Structure 1
Amino acid sequence: MISVFVPSQLSAYTGGVTRVTATGETVGAVLDDLDRAYPGLKFRVIDEQDRVRKHMRLFVGQDETRDVTRPIRPGEELLIFGALSGG
């Protein structure tokens, strides 16, 4: 299983939970698994061309990635962060 940190701005999709688990051999497969459990979540992170949206940041452990084909192993952690804006 992959442990996934979901930012507070997306926690409405997960019923308020900010730590969930998913399966998959790549970042994209993990996001697909999350979307099956929490419909609509993936579209907030990935656009129609399967690219990470500009305002989103993904980390596998401490390494940032924008590549949804990046491998991820069981026991690793996927962190999803959304940029904040304001005045």
Structure 2
Amino acid sequence: MSHLRQPRDVELLLKTFREVFDILRRLGIRYIWIDRFCIVQDSEADWQTQASVMGEIYKTSFVCISGLGAPDDDAGCFYD
């Protein structure tokens, strides 16, 4: 997972994630938790481990941005 801590070209991400990074940059927020990237998706054990601390993660967050209702990860945060 250490490779996820390295700088990446944001333009390679899907639109929703690019927009989230733009929002965070404008707010001056340097750290982000994205379930899709922070939890090993095909590992039931990792899901169980992370799910047990997710409440604490979200409880101590500054802001929570959710893409609920989006048809897919490339729809963006703001769509018709």
What is the TM-score of this pair, normalised by structure 1? 0.31
Query: Where is the strand percentage greater, Structure 1 or Structure 2?
Result: 1
| Structure with the larger helix share | 2
**Rg larger in 1 or in 2?**
2
